[in-house]
């Protein structure tokens, strides 16, 4: 007996749609070759939704998302929407989706595949075997704090305002996710803020310290200022296991951590809320409008995001293992999209990367039979 998993697919803008085509190949393969079954709903988010519905996330799309088991997203944004009002910009659609579903814990693994060690701008001995998980708070902080806006000071000057704010509970719940995940990995958490200059950082440190003492004394905990963390990620990234941090620092540190791995095109993410709420799975990379539609995009980050959905939302970790092993083999065979191309490897298009992955899945299955 197999259950049917309801997925909402939101390809979005730029390279999002072409990456999603490759995810669909993987879904079709899983349907024919495993006992998984899927019920797919396609919809729009970001600029493409703005063109279709006049808003970057329509109410009916949000409803479809709520009613699914997981949401797989491509990417949002593009220069053609630069002059659109903030609340209608492509990014606002994504922010609304995160907020409405209260997806407060954003998991961003930065994993260096052995085959890609040379792709990093850092020395191989610094990044080899790297496996960091950034847990970014995603529904509060300066992204959503009030007051916000641009006010006219009346003297020819304006003032732009954003507010950083965190409550005890907002810090606690993301801290719990980080400690729980650390126990399943390297059992170490670095909590990053700016407690030296920000009250919200001071509270963050207090809450994490109390949570740790009360429930997670077995986990190794370090507090680190976020600027120091940015530096340490380049100096000695191997010291990190799980990093837990706020929304804005997490945005920045996860981009930095992703570059350690050599390509932004490889990194997936999961955004999780309370039990029973569908998770949102999306690549860390943006919409890369400069290469969109040319078959140059690396679909692996979106495919690996789908793999995280199998693991965290669909209770299908065996299939996630299969898919992740196939990604590893493809890379070991030297099959590369332009972003991770190296000497002696074979450069392939977005579609050919997806096909290579399918071939790999099929031969793994044959070997296992």
Residue ranges in contact with Mg ion by CB under 5 A: 251
Please return the burial class of 351, using the count of CB atoms within 10 Å of its CB with bins 0-12, 13-18 and 19+: middle
List b or e across 239-277, with b for residues whose CB sees 16 or more CB atoms inside 10 angstroms: ebbbbbbbbbbbbebbbbbbbbbbbbbbbbbbbbbeeee
Annotated active-site residue in 35, 87, 227, 290: 227
How far is Cα of residue 84 from the mean position of the Cα atoms in its chain? 25
Annotated active-site residue in 102, 131, 255, 355: 255
Question: Residue 288 binds what, of ligand IPM, Mg ion, none (CB under 5 to 8 Å, by partner type)?
Answer: none
**Half-sphere exposure of residue 136, counting CA atoms within 13 Å on the CB side?**
28
For position 347 contacting ligand IPM by CB under 6 A, the verdict is no
Say how far apart CA 45 and CA 47 lie, in whole Å. Answer: 7
185: its two tokens: 């990995």
Stretch that binds ligand IPM, among 89-97, 159-167, 175-183, 361-369 (CB under 6 A): 89-97
Backbone angles phi, psi at 94, to 5 degrees: -65, -40
Q: Which of 233/357 has CB closer to ligand IPM?
A: 233
For position 256 contacting ligand IPM by CB under 6 A, the verdict is no
Stretch that binds ligand IPM, among 79-87, 88-96, 182-190, 208-216 (CB under 6 A): 88-96
For position 101 contacting ligand IPM by CB under 6 A, the verdict is no
Site for ligand IPM in 20-79 (CB under 6 A): 76-77
Stretch that binds ligand IPM, among 22-30, 90-98, 199-207, 333-341 (CB under 6 A): 90-98
Shortest Å distance, C-beta 174 to ligand IPM? 15
CB 214 within 8 Å of CB 221? no
Residue 87 annotated to the active site: no
Question: Residue 308 binds what, of ligand IPM, Mg ion, none (CB under 5 to 8 Å, by partner type)?
Answer: none
CB 330 within 8 Å of CB 299? no
Say how far apart CA 331 and CA 321 lie, in whole Å. Answer: 16
Shortest Å distance, C-beta 49 to ligand IPM? 14
Say how far apart CA 215 and CA 221 lie, in whole Å. Answer: 12
Residue 225 annotated to the active site: no
Q: Nearest 5 degrees, angle CA 8-CA 335-CA 18?
A: 30
For position 251 contacting ligand IPM by CB under 6 A, the verdict is yes
Question: Residue 94 binds what, of ligand IPM, Mg ion, none (CB under 5 to 8 Å, by partner type)?
Answer: ligand IPM
Residue 39 annotated to the active site: no
Shortest Å distance, C-beta 308 to Mg ion? 17
For position 94 contacting ligand IPM by CB under 6 A, the verdict is yes
Q: Which of 136/194 has CB closer to Mg ion?
A: 136
Residue 227 annotated to the active site: yes
Give the residue closest to ligand IPM by C-beta. Answer: 91
Question: Residue 16 binds what, of ligand IPM, Mg ion, none (CB under 5 to 8 Å, by partner type)?
Answer: none
Q: How many other CB atoms are found less than 10 A from the CB of residue 155?
A: 6
Shortest Å distance, C-beta 284 to Mg ion? 7
Which stretches of the chain are assigned E, i.e. beta strand? 4-12, 37-42, 70-75, 105-111, 131-137, 145-152, 158-163, 188-193, 220-225, 242-245, 268-272, 279-283, 335-336, 346-347
Q: How many other CB atoms are found less than 10 A from the CB of residue 314?
A: 21
Shortest Å distance, C-beta 119 to ligand IPM? 21
Residue 312 annotated to the active site: no
Shortest Å distance, C-beta 76 to ligand IPM? 6
For position 91 contacting ligand IPM by CB under 6 A, the verdict is yes
Cis, bond preceding 147 (omega within 30 deg of 0) = yes
Annotated active-site residue in 50, 143, 281, 312: 143
Interface residues with ligand IPM (CB under 6 A) are 76-77, 91, 94-95, 251
Catalytic positions are 143, 194, 227, 251, 255
């Amino acid at each position: 007996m197999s259950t049917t998993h309801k997925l909402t697919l939101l390809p979005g803008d730029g390279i999002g749609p072409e990456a999603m085509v490759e995810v669909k190949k993987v879904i079709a393969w899983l349907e024919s070759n495993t006992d998984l079954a899927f019920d797919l709903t396609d919809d729009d988010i970001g600029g493409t939704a703005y063109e279709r519905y006049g808003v970057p996330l329509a109410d009916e799309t949000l409803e479809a998302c709520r009613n699914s088991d997981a949401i797989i997203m491509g990417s949002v944004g593009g220069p053609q929407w630069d002059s659109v009002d903030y609340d209608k910009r492509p990014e606002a659609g994504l922010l609304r989706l995160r907020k409405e579903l209260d997806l407060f814990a954003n998991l961003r693994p930065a994993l260096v595949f052995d085959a890609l060690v040379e792709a990093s701008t850092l020395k191989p001995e610094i990044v080899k075997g790297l496996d960091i998980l950034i847990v970014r708070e995603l529904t509060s902080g300066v992204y959503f704090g009030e007051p916000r806006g641009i006010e006219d000071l009346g003297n020819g000057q304006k003032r732009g305002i954003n507010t950083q704010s965190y409550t005890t509970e907002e810090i606690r719940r993301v801290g719990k996710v980080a400690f729980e995940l650390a126990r399943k990995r390297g059992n170490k958490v670095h909590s990053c803020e700016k407690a030296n200059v920000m009250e919200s950082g001071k509270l963050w440190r207090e809450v994490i310290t109390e949570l740790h003492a009360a429930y997670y004394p077995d986990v190794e905990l370090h507090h680190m200022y976020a600027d120091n963390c940015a530096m340490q990620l380049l100096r000695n990234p191997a010291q990190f296991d799980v990093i837990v941090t706020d929304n804005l620092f997490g945005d920045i540190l996860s981009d930095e951590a992703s570059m350690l791995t050599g390509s932004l095109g490889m990194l997936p993410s999961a955004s999780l809320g309370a039990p029973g709420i569908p998770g949102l799975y999306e690549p860390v990379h943006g919409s890369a409008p400069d290469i969109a539609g040319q078959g140059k995009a690396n679909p692996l980050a979106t495919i690996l995001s789908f793999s995280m959905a199998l693991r965290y939302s669909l209770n299908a970790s065996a299939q996630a293992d299969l898919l992740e092993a196939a990604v590893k083999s493809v890379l070991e065979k030297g099959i590369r999209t332009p972003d991770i191309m190296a000497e002696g490897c074979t450069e392939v298009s977005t579609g050919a990367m997806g096909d290579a992955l399918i071939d790999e899945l099929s031969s793994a299955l044959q070997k296992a039979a």
